[in-house]
Structure 1
Amino acid sequence: MATATNFHVFLAFTAIFAFLSLAATATTIATKESVYDLLPKYGLPSGLLPDSVTDYSLSDDGRFIVVLDQPCYIQFDYLVYYETKITGKLSYGSITELNGIQVQRFFIWFNVDEIRVDLPPSDNIYFQVGLINKKLDVDQFKTVRSCRDSLTASPCHGTKTPSSSFKCSAQLNITVCDLAYETVIFVWVVVEWLPAAVDEIPMLLTE
């Protein structure tokens, strides 16, 4: 009789434990905030990411992974490209060690290495691309935008993606486009590699 009673008590405790575990799991899933709610808590605008985020993870040291349903583009002051997987390190007012976001300048795509805002907040947000710290109006990033999966027709981009080689649109003369491309590349190389006195080399250029 005592054995049966103990067995019933064991079953009762097992059932209660299983119920509490399931309830805790359900609560954790239900209370996971969206990445769009998370960004403002770090002083960053929620519209830095498109509306197509399907999942994200954030570790204790601030490292994160954001997953989109597909690569896509958003037109801000500059055209921005988002890869399916975006990684970086999140801290208050900045995202560093960023991978998976690119910006188009002069028909060429460049990786965005860091995004930050002023502290205390101002009207500006900064995209660091190599040695260039591009200052932009932060208001354009306050609204979460839809993300398109392809480029619309515009001069000299054809159907390329940021990782593909530069191609001209069929409507334009290939020689003219190639010339424009080569000119941009030449200017970029000269600016990046032209020798200068050590004390004249800027650590970071803000434009």
Structure 2
Amino acid sequence: MLSVSQAVRQRHSVRAFLPRPVGRADIEAILEIASRAPSGGNLQPWHVDVLAGNALEELRRRVRDRLSQGLDQTEFHVYPPELDETHAARRRAGGEALYAAIGVGREDKPARWSQFLRNYELFGAPVGLFFSIDRGFDRPQWAHLGMFIQTIMLLAEERGLGTCAQESWAAAHATVSEFLELPPDRILYCGLALGYPDREHPINRFRTEREPLSGFARFRGMG
């Protein structure tokens, strides 16, 4: 069994999956354990809808139809409108590494758009998880939702599964929220692709860079 450290180091965003199904018992076990994730005041502010089979295919169909008319206006900023150069450079580098892995050049806009639209197919994953949160909650509860999602991803690694957390679903929130019958006081945050990774696919072989410890941590009073 993987250690926590191994699961953290091994986890990456999987963007190509095998057609192999994932058992409901595995998903239920992952979610039950993940519910132990911390939340201030034990609010447990997360909601998750799990789709597979015909239900997932129907959502994909509806989203494809909607996207033929363009993306939704997101209800929150996935990235800050005025992203500073340090963070913008990291985003560009990750994107370029992704497209280089599948041989798509910067000038090939149609191929890049086609790959982007794969988000809304969950990259072929057999299971999609969709996370929502009450609109009345503020940034602390959104942070706790994120910890819940991260816990799910690490537990998936433990079982040999791969994941890809996708904020891109915020640009299809109207269709997804309608399909999931989310109440008006609930906002869709993201989707999560879940399944067995296609480890031979080149898009799953690249890894994004991480800043060294000295770039983000400061130590005081520790010698």
Q: TM-score category by the smaller chain?
A: under 0.3
Q: Which has the greater radius of gyration? A: 1
Q: TM-score, normalised by structure 2?
A: 0.24
Higher helix proportion: 2
Q: TM-score, normalised by structure 1?
A: 0.25
The higher relative CO (CA closer than 8 Å, separation ≥ 6) is in 2
Higher strand proportion: 1
